[in-house]
Amino acid sequence: MPKINGYDIDGVIDMHSEVGVYPGPNDVIITGRSFEETQETLEMLIRRGIKNKVFFNPLRFDEKTRESSGQHKGRTLLSLMDAGFEIGVFFEDDPIQVAEIRKILPDLKIVHLVHDLTEKENVRHK
């Protein structure tokens, strides 16, 4: 299978008024957004011309945290690797989520985007 990259949405693909980082045609999007946010998220991506496979957080909107979103991303990347995909890099902007992904996949190459274009939630835990 070909090497693919993974992308977060908020702070990576979506930087509000700024143009974000766009995935290649075979890359995947792994978002901390809840499955409850599927429709509006897919509509936003389509408006930007992005039609990649999206993996949503299986937690309800009011149950997710920055930590659980990072855990979801790490588990999803691990399952893709177990299925035979080679992950090149994962693009993420949230340091808490980077840390959670590294707990699951310490050798994964992560491009940690650092900017002040989007706000991070101040609450770490639910």
Asked if residue 117 belongs to a domain, the reply is no
Torsion sign (Cα): 60, 23, 11, 76 = positive
Question: Are the beta carbons of 91 and 14 closer than 8 angstroms?
Answer: no
Rg (CA), the chain: 14
Tens digits of per-residue pLDDT, 61-120?
999 999 999 999 999 999 999 999 999 999 999 999 999 999 999 999 999 887 666 666
The reported pLDDT for the residue numbered 126 is: 38
DSSP state of 57: E
* pLDDT given for residue 20 in this prediction: 85
Structure-model confidence comparison of residues 1 and 32, the more confident one: 32
Residue 70 sits in a domain of what CATH number? 3.40.50.1000
Q: Does residue 119 lie in a domain region?
A: no
CA dihedral 56, 96, 89, 27 (to 10 degrees): 20
Q: Measured in whole angstroms, how far is the alpha carbon of residue 3 from the centre of its chain? A: 17
Whether residue 121 lies inside any domain: the answer is no
Range of the domain at 33: 3-112
Residue 126 included in any domain = no
